[in-house]
Amino acid sequence: MSGASLATAKTSAKLRQRRDLVLPVLIFLILALVPAFAALTAQKFLIDMAARIMIFAVAAVALDLVVGYGGMISFGHAAFIGIGAYAVGILSAEGIGDAVIALPVAILAATLFAWLTGIVCLGTRGAYFIMITLAFGQMVYFVATSLAPYGGDNGLTIDARNTLAGLPLLKSDLNFYYVVLLALIGAYAFCRALVASRFGRVLRGAKENPSRMATIGFDTRRYQLIAYVISGGLTGLSGFLLANSTEFVSPAYMSWQRSGELLVMVILGGVGTLDGAIIGAAAYLFSEQWLSRLTENWKVIFGPVLILVVLFARGGLLGLCGALWRRFGALR
């Protein structure tokens, strides 16, 4: 390759990197401005709605790491949300309500469960992997329903949001909103750096051609297990935030339906695009909010829409927007 060609290739790579940064910066900027917009329009519910979107976006980003980049379709990821949420609820019931303790416990509990179950799950592939993650998720769900001292089927009400080093900083909805935003930015930045690293390249290689990666000396199962464990820990963070947001924990947080909703968010936004996971979470929860006002059977309407997106919008909503942008640019 000549010097001029090499320089052109480097310039093109830099331009792609800059374009890749535009969308996440725009997303986070919009989210940062939501409280100001809510104050100007006197629509406080927008803060609660955006906070809920960001909480589930953390879980969707974590799930996209294993589904989109690792090729591991988990149908039990809601278990990690429930574990993180119950860590907060149980500690609060026992008189420990500080995030300095609750947050590490929530993440570590979800991480440990991901490690223990991941060892078993990664002994399988394809449909068997999907079914065994579903089985582990349902196992945790039924354990939660049997916790009679902590509400059982009825769930557990948390007296107040966690304090932070003894200070009630999370009590304010506005403060809590920006804490959730920082958590989402941190989870996204971490996953993006991980995907761009050597680890991420090996993980993608294990998804595309595991036999070839094993032949050249990579222990693909170990890389997949690490990704699964990281994903579980980040989803536990989502559970911690959800418990503090609702001040309530319930076995429903870890049901197979919730796991399905997380997968829908990832598919809707675009599998293998961390930006798409955030967009998918927003699209799903906005659809739920809007369509549920029309009918309680709103999923009957949402289902065909999802089918159309899968069939005709390769890459989800993010891929559809990219295709429209390219077509519009070509017409110009």
String of DSSP letters for 100-166: HHHHHHHHHHHHHHHHHHHHHHTTS-HHHHHHHHHHHHHHHHHHHHT-GGGTGGG-EE-SSPPBBTT
Please write the tens of the pLDDT for every residue from 201-229: 999 998 888 888 888 888 889 999 999 99
pLDDT at 123 over 80: yes
Q: How many folded domains does the chain comprise?
A: 1
Q: What is the pLDDT of residue 214?
A: 82
Contacts of residue 139, defined as CB under 8 A and 6 or more positions apart, other chains included, come to none
* 156-157 and 248-249 strand pairing: antiparallel
Quickly tell me which residue has 């809707």 as its tokens. 268
Q: Is the residue at 52 inside a domain?
A: yes
Let me know if residue 296 belongs to a domain: no
Report if residue 280 sits inside a domain: no
pLDDT tens figures, 20-76: 788 889 999 999 999 999 988 888 889 999 999 999 999 999 999 999 999 899 999
Do residues 268 and 280 make contact, with C-beta atoms less than 8 angstroms apart? yes
Q: What is the Cα–Cα distance from 45 to 27, expressed in whole angstroms?
A: 19
**pLDDT higher than 60, residue 79:** yes
Task: Answer whether residue 7 is part of any domain.
Answer: no
pLDDT value, residue 93:
92
Residue numbers of the domain that contains 108: 19-255
Q: Is the residue at 329 inside a domain?
A: no
Would you say residue 312 lies in a domain?
A: no
Question: Would you place residue 238 in the very low, low, confident or very high pLDDT band (cuts 50, 70, 90)?
Answer: very high
